[in-house]
Structure 1
């Protein structure tokens, strides 16, 4: 079975004052259905730059990226934006929840932005939160729950629109070890069960 996400000799070079710096150099990876891969490295090693390229937020200097065989370098800016909105899910170090929306409203927001909100997708939002152990916090505001619970809401939000690829940038950095490991395990289980491709960047070897 071909991989969902693949890169070949991917690189990003920044140039300034007649000097060049390779932030990412010759990265070739394949991530298949149900796989959750961790990219580990210290701060400044290019992890976030790589993730930004995989998310179509940053153009590469060389190499190729493809999701389900669709090559990013064959898309124009509008096509990339639509592809990102429909096929890629994100979870960030700072969960970026809307503070005045409840847990379920934060998850449903992605559906509303994509004009995909209906009774069926609303049920899926609730089901995801229940699967993540948040059945008692559906109507809670972010300020009323723990950081670990907030991050689980962010995970549900990243999965709600049925993406093929899910990208996580240091999703456990603000959590203690026990909560961090729980969040990573839940994330990995959902990606495997729903046949997605997942990549997490982290500097924390405990999460691998």
Structure 2
């Protein structure tokens, strides 16, 4: 009996170690991605500036990057919520929108998609107000989670699928009764088999 318990405990430890390794890898990937993104082109300034309130409509909108870029898509959202495409001219590290013809008063949101010299696509937004700020149409769009948190969340969400696809390999050393336990729980066992079977925990409270 003691030998059987030791065997189950050892195999449960292997499962737990596998889960911890997967989680550690997901965390490392999430943390290193923002650092890698800094090596590519990024917006360093604009005219009008981000969050600026100006008295009259601008004669031009300028996006300033830390390296040369080429425009792909540039979209502006007016205070009333309507949107339209704008054309921009590349001038070294700057993108210039000449005569944007912004007539309404309120907050404008401009989203851009550009490509840098190294071939990477860069996206971003700026917002500024003419006359006075209004309810920004881009408020929800600007409230984005940091890349690290997004990727970590994606990795954690993918963990059940990883276990489902690899459960035969993970559980190949488990006793036959534990394998049967996993197969008998399509909802909990397949998605999170270690919680109920591999670790010897009850399937239900």
- Fold similarity call, TM over 0.5: no
More contact order relative to length (CA 8 Å, sep ≥ 6): 1
| Bigger Cα Rg | 2
TM-score with structure 1 length normalisation?
A: 0.29
